[in-house]
Amino acid sequence: MSRRTSSQPWPVAALAVAALALPLVASGASAASATPAASATGAPLDSVDTYSGLTFTVPAGRNDLGQPQTCTIDADLYKPHSASRAARVPAILTTNGFGGSKADQAGLGAAFAKRGYAVLSYTGLGFPNSGCKISLDDPGVDGVAASSLVSFLGGAGSAAYTSSTVGGTTGGAGNVAVDFTVLDNAATHDPRLGMIGGSYGGQIQFATAATDPRVDTLVPLITWNDLRYSLAPNNTSFTSGVTYVGSNPGTEKIGWAGLFFGVGIVDGIQGAAIDPARNVGCPNFVLEACRAKATLDTLGYPTASTTALTDRVSVGHYIDKVKVPTFLIQGENDTLFNLQEATATYKSLKARGVPVTMAWQSWGHSGGTGANSGAAPGELDLTGEHIEDTYLGLRIKNWFDHYLKRSSVSTGPAFSYFRDWVPYSGSAAPAYASSGSYPVGTRASWYLSAADQLVSSRSAILPGSKSWANPGLGAPASYTEVSGLEGQVDLPDGLTVPFDTPGTFGAWSTPALTKPLTVVGAPTLDVRFESPTVALTQAAGPSGQLQVFAKLYDVAPDGSVTLVHKLISPVRVADVTQPVHIELPAIVHRVEAGHRLRLVLASTDAAYKNAYAVQPVTVRASPTAPATLSIPVVP
């Protein structure tokens, strides 16, 4: 007998789409109005002319055989009714998250058209009604394809559409040419253009900007910095933020990787009529992607060929080509693309002098703050007449107004983050704290001590040790999440979440806190593992190296345990004879007075590929060589 954590039994493909193709709209936000009205600030809104079913055939790099390819793109154009050659407007280009389509951006397109922007929303390559295979936002494929759409918005030619709504009148098919956008250079068809989108629709912005210098600004939400970190993380190997450079391989995030491929294959079947070649060979993915997935599923870690693919499609490896102002928005509740991803991009852009701002919002791929798993009330609406009433909606509008309309409006703080413990009504602005830069606050240190304790001074450390081992054969003994299927799976009766099997983990806890503690950022752990068994096998490569899963619990006075947003840090230790530096997931969390912090080092996790061999391990508490947990705290 088992229990279902939700009464709605969705199929896996539908769940994956819900998790990956997140719409850019807050819970309960109104749909875009079809008639002129006024924005929340009282400014009049334009009416919208819509051209649906535009079809583009564009060059898009090379296919699996190395041959030049062209791809079909399905798009919709939203034009402010008053826009004309004499009254030109800036442009916005937007596309879908993984598994979605142009329809996901329909509300956004209409809403920003009402506010004086020409918006082209298109379905990305490999998704319904657009051709070719999924190339994982490769700049040489997806970026090149998007460049043709930039040209169209700059007045280069026309596109056929299947239906239109102009001046409130619905019409049939025709052709539309763009002669109503602000042009920075007419000769090169260079429109004043920004991009916006979430997840897969976030990374395409980097791919396009790295390929086409005509892009003027970006607003990527909940996307990746390094796809190798996203799908096979190793939290000991950061060299510059998240980006791997010659690092030790991580371990496969099997739940999320499986969802990606399941959704992509389903989209290929559904889009077979558009491009039958999508399902030839590797189904609806470029061949390298299928090979990488097979490698991860077999070995549990990426090889050099997998790395070559993930490096090519990750902004962390071509960040020097991105030179336009960027507003990064990342989700605090996201086990797919966590806060470390945006942080790495933020640091890299800032180091190069590129204008960059970062906000950590409440929601991400793993859900949100409420039962609806969406944005917090008053946090984000990009689809209706009340964009300005939401904190991030207003900031995004101001960002585009500043960089595309050349308005003097402020773009807001350099860094802001949502605090779910702050009460408010209306806009979520009071729940956001702000700073002139990231990181924020100071570091507080605790030390591992005997009797499973974390102590706040080195003089209080008592010598001792803690030992554990994994069950072997790849079996998981710890459970924290099931990736994009949270709330939709059967769990054994009596199983609490998170769950760690005794004997398979080590844990150390602070005393009850005497006052609240606010954590903002990524905790770190400096520790030394002892494992004579692994010391003999690690030279053979990743399969013989020690695996550890680090996590930080909030333990209430009644003993109940919270793992903040189910975030953990997988670790593959290259050399157990050397000290290890681990970066735990970045979080925003308030630990109340009377609660305790508990550091857990588990040998396995059900959401990841686990070690096949049994790996006994010991961690010692030593006053002379202490293992140190460092936590970023703010007042």
CATH number at residue 225: 3.40.50.1820
In whole angstroms, how far apart are CA 17 and each of 101, 257, 261?
Answer: 10, 13, 11
Question: What pLDDT, on a 0 to 100 scale, did the predictor assign at position 432?
Answer: 98
Read off the pLDDT of residues 303-347 as tens digits, 9 standing for 90 and up: 999 999 999 999 999 999 999 999 999 999 999 999 999 999 999
Residues 338 and 240 occupy one common structural domain: yes
Question: What pLDDT, on a 0 to 100 scale, did the predictor assign at position 385?
Answer: 83
Last residue of a domain, one of 435, 450, 482: 435
At 432, list the tokens: 């956001």
Whether the pLDDT of residue 13 is over 70: the answer is no
Residues 414 and 470 occupy one common structural domain: no
Number of domains in the chain: 2
Residue 17 lies in a domain: no
Residue 93 lies in a domain: yes
Q: What is the mean pLDDT of residues 410-432?
A: 97
> Residue 331 in contact with residue 364, Cβ under 8 Å?
yes
Sign of CA dihedral 573, 297, 142, 65: positive
Question: What pLDDT, on a 0 to 100 scale, did the predictor assign at position 284?
Answer: 92
Residues 454 and 373 occupy one common structural domain: no
Residue 65 lies in a domain: yes
Residues 463 and 325 occupy one common structural domain: no
Among 150-164, 199-213, 234-248, 419-433, which is the least confidently predicted range? 234-248
Residues 341 and 487 occupy one common structural domain: no
pTM of the model: 0.93
At 183, list the tokens: 């042009």
CA–CA separation, 202 vs 223, rounded Å? 5
Residue 14 lies in a domain: no
Q: Between vectors from CA 218 to CA 214 and to CA 222, what angle results, nearest 5°? A: 145
Read off the pLDDT of residues 180-213 as tens digits, 9 standing for 90 and up: 999 999 999 999 999 999 999 999 999 999 999 9
* Residue for token pair 């395409």: 204
Whether the pLDDT of residue 5 is over 70: the answer is no
Residues 107 and 251 occupy one common structural domain: yes
At 567, list the tokens: 């975030």
Residue 190 lies in a domain: yes
CATH number at residue 553: 2.60.120.260
Split at pLDDT 50, 70, 90, the class of 31 is very low
Read off the pLDDT of residues 256-309 as tens digits, 9 standing for 90 and up: 999 888 898 888 888 888 888 888 889 999 999 999 999 999 999 999 999 999
Last residue of a domain, one of 401, 435, 469: 435
Percent of the chain scoring above 90 in pLDDT: 82
Residues 367 and 474 occupy one common structural domain: no
Amino acid identity for residue 167 in this structure:
G
CA–CA separation, 372 vs 6, rounded Å? 12
Residue 96 lies in a domain: yes
Distance of CA 201 to the CA centre of its chain: 10
Whether the pLDDT of residue 28 is over 90: the answer is no
Range of the domain at 568: 442-634
Last residue of a domain, one of 400, 416, 435: 435
Residues 391 and 528 occupy one common structural domain: no
Read off the pLDDT of residues 570-628 as tens digits, 9 standing for 90 and up: 999 999 999 999 999 999 999 999 999 999 999 999 999 999 999 999 999 999 999 99
Residue 10 lies in a domain: no
Residue 13 lies in a domain: no
* Residue for token pair 């875009």: 32
325 — phi, psi (to 5°)? -55, 135
Average pLDDT, the chain: 90
CA–CA separation, 6 vs 69, rounded Å? 45
Alpha helices per DSSP H over 313-368:
339-351
532 upstream amide cis, omega within 30 of 0: no
Question: What pLDDT, on a 0 to 100 scale, did the predictor assign at position 488?
Answer: 52
Please give the radius of gyration of the chain, using alpha carbons only, rounded to the nearest integer: 25
Whether the pLDDT of residue 11 is over 50: the answer is no
CA–CA separation, 453 vs 228, rounded Å? 34
Residues 213 and 159 occupy one common structural domain: yes
Q: Between 436 and 32, whose confidence is greater? A: 436
> Residue 335 in contact with residue 363, Cβ under 8 Å?
no
Residues 427 and 464 occupy one common structural domain: no
At 545, list the tokens: 């190296």
> Residue 478 in contact with residue 495, Cβ under 8 Å?
no
Residues 135 and 60 occupy one common structural domain: yes
Residues 490 and 418 occupy one common structural domain: no
